[in-house]
Amino acid sequence: MLKIGVIGCGAIGKEHIRRLMHLIPNAEVVACTDYFIDAAKETAAKYGIPNVYQTGEELIAASEVEAIVITSSDASHAAYVLEGVKAGKQVFCEKPLAQTAADCEAIMEEEVKQGRKLVQVGFMRRYDPGYVEIKKVIDSGELGEPLMIHACHRNVSQGEGFQTEMGITNVAIHELDICRWLLGDEYKNAQVLKVKQSARSTKGYDNPQIVLLETENGSRIDVELQVSDAYGYDIQCQVVCEKGTLNLPDPSSIIKRSNATCSTTLMTDWADRFIEAYDIELADWVTKVEQGEPAGPSSWDGYAACVAADSLNRSRGTNEFLKVEMIEKPELYK
């Protein structure tokens, strides 16, 4: 039984606690904390979590906590991950790993010092059955080499304080991870473009934006990004290969025929759209950690996405493709 402490009892924190307590038999949440301590106390009462700590640092140091799940706000991730790794504990960190490449490098340095993988990043799409199937076909070589990816990330709303740059670091970060994973390739150049703005979206940040990427092997990727005010939560991905194309399937929905119309329903929430992926992801993390070390997206993957995000945000308004420059991959992640 893996004894876990959770930092951040907000939307996804509560979802992950429910999974760890009710769905995953070899996991138990033994402690939680939140910046708003009442959120932690309420969550602890609801799920029967025995220990509530005032701070993330206290939770990380607690002797009953063997592994840590970080589901607090983006800006707090890097410091907690570093602290967890220094304590020699396994850490599952929701995306993004950090806000800057330098913070990711500090985490990797510490992990390398510890001599084993201690971090998994919450890029759950790698566990979504649709993406997994696409990856299998690409890797089989059946359709030849992948040449391009056309992707869309359309969302309904964002919380208070959302900014243009977060469209990349918080939202498109999923595409930045999944595309390099599907292609087994790294990014070479990146550019973000502001397009004609939606009159429905007037909250002070760019929406939509288009992300353009070129990989080391010459594949091209375009991602249409509508962070809010779209018609639903709709994630699309088409991989164009030499001998055919691969499309991400839509989640299943009944087909309704009524009023001379045939229709299906689209989702509006990430928690529903990727529910299966989150379930598989956390169950896999717990099991692999119990066996020795995590097998999912590593600190290196968190770093690669962060470096690409950084280039994209720097490219805004320059009309230039910017280089995506990474450090040499440490042996631990090869």
Least distance in angstroms from the C-beta of 314 to ligand NAI:
21
Q: Please, where are the H alpha helices in 246-298? A: 270-273, 275-291
Least distance in angstroms from the C-beta of 229 to ligand NAI:
18
At 313, phi and psi to the nearest 5? -65, -35
Least distance in angstroms from the C-beta of 277 to ligand NAI:
9
Closest to 62 (Cα-Cα) out of 107, 6, 118: 6
Span 229-288, contacts to ligand NAI by CB under 6 A: 270
Span 79-98, contacts to ligand NAI by CB under 6 A: 94-95
C-beta of residue 183 within 8 angstroms of C-beta of residue 146: yes
Least distance in angstroms from the C-beta of 329 to ligand NAI:
24
Q: Is 76 in the site for ligand NAI (CB under 6 A)?
A: yes
Among 35, 47, 205, 333, which residue sits at the site for ligand NAI (rule: CB under 6 A)?
Answer: 35
Q: Is 13 in the site for ligand NAI (CB under 6 A)?
A: yes
Span 141-200, contacts to ligand NAI by CB under 6 A: 170
Size of the site for ligand NAI (CB under 6 A): 24
C-beta of residue 6 within 8 angstroms of C-beta of residue 65: no
Cβ distance to ligand NAI smaller for residue 36 or 317: 36
How many whole angstroms separate alpha carbon 294 and alpha carbon 280? 13
Task: Note the maximum CA span of the chain.
Answer: 65
Closest to 79 (Cα-Cα) out of 172, 7, 12: 7
Closest to 82 (Cα-Cα) out of 105, 54, 55: 105
Q: Is 219 in the site for ligand NAI (CB under 6 A)?
A: no
Which residue's beta carbon is nearest to the bound ligand NAI?
10
In three-state secondary structure terms, 106 is: helix
Q: Is 130 in the site for ligand NAI (CB under 6 A)?
A: no
226 pairs with which residues across the strands? 154
Among 5, 56, 84, 297, which residue sits at the site for ligand NAI (rule: CB under 6 A)?
Answer: 56
- Torsional sign, CA 305, 309, 311, 312: positive
Cβ distance to ligand NAI smaller for residue 57 or 214: 57
Chain positions contacting ligand NAI, by CB under 6 A: 7-13, 33-36, 39, 56, 71-74, 76, 94-95, 122, 124, 170, 270
